[in-house]
Structure 1
């Protein structure tokens, strides 16, 4: 799969079947849409392509307004998103930098400059509520009219449901915020996980008797707290552990987000390795303790809860 930051150069602009969206989490609704794109590309001898955005448009506008609390939390980092798109059979991903210039494009400019000249789109599928262009002025009807003018097909995908629940990134975020990993798995089609390279930390966990594997978290995540987890990428089988995802309020006040995992029965060095941390059950919210002694006691209790989980639950 090819990944482009911005529009591809002339040599890489093969005609494509395209879809456009944020694809946060690449949930089952996204997967249905991507399957249509892949099928159309095969049928028409095109490349299957996705245009997505960084940062999330709502994140951009929240920052512009000076109120980041209005920005959506992230289900997945860019690495995990790209991995999901590759598994869906996508040939090409355009990660468009969403900035003031891009946000100011009229629907007509977006169609001509991005879709026609930039990507050579021949087939396009979007959600039935898709809007585009400055102030979201463009809609599906306008896009279909542009397709007739410039020679590309436009198709829409109705909302995908799971029972009476609309499958959406918002629904996945809500499930993760509640620690409902069963519902999250139903919406995503797989267990929820975060990946990243193991970084060096302050080594405080080692001093406290609970050494940790640390992953940097660049964006505000959709979940927060202490969890039962298993880590993929260290051994043939997942390694069990307990994890804290948050800002470590007892030991620092920088607001830096970090995922710390204390692994059971694992002692080998793993700095720099790319691992995937799968979340299985929420234990509690993150708390600020009055000193290290109560923090150690809380970690000891969390580890005991996680060990009991693995004793009583079959995990793959």
Structure 2
């Protein structure tokens, strides 16, 4: 048997040999890995250099620009063709729809003309206690008697009335006043008047009147050269609708001049309260011939 010391030396020699071989193998692996990494890096740089040349980039950019222009051209051409086709179809639709619309409009017009309400003003007068004329203001309730002479009910019948002086433009003020209901599509004011129905039956007790008023400034602006007399006018319309044309506003217009009765002398702000029996509403020449619609 070998001595124990030899055994230890042999084991130590074997261990150093194994350790040396491991280190050599580790160094060899590291060298191989470094060589492979360097080769990959070199290949990558070579590939990048070959494919990133300025002329290559310019060619690619030009190709992209040309493709973009071509696509834009195709899109514009397609859009133009689509609009041209749509325009032709629209013209055909108009040609086909035109006669149908004309027929429908004519049918509706015939229906409205044959089945409609007509509001007639039978009489107008200063109502209530009369006209109160002062330098501070002028107040006059205006009473109506109206009749539906049409063959369908008149709906939402409502008077629009305004007191004016000779300084005012009567037609312009009437137009503005009677345009009010057309700007209020949701308004439900008014009452219903059936065919051949008169409302009210008379002026006086149970009369239907609407108050009108002039302010101090309006009175001062409307006075005559004598600074006393004030020519007064009542303008407006009776607004209504009916079942065959419910969205349209039909109106009976009026322009009346307030005179004293029986002698047509001007109203004076010194007159104070003038009873209804001493006043008359005469149709003014500006309003003569203005028909209902």
Q: Shorter-normalised TM-score: what interval?
A: under 0.3
> TM-score with structure 2 length normalisation?
0.19
Higher helix share: 2
Pick 1 or 2: higher relative contact order, CA cutoff 8 A, min separation 6.
Answer: 2
Give the number of the structure whose alpha-carbon radius of gyration is greater. 2
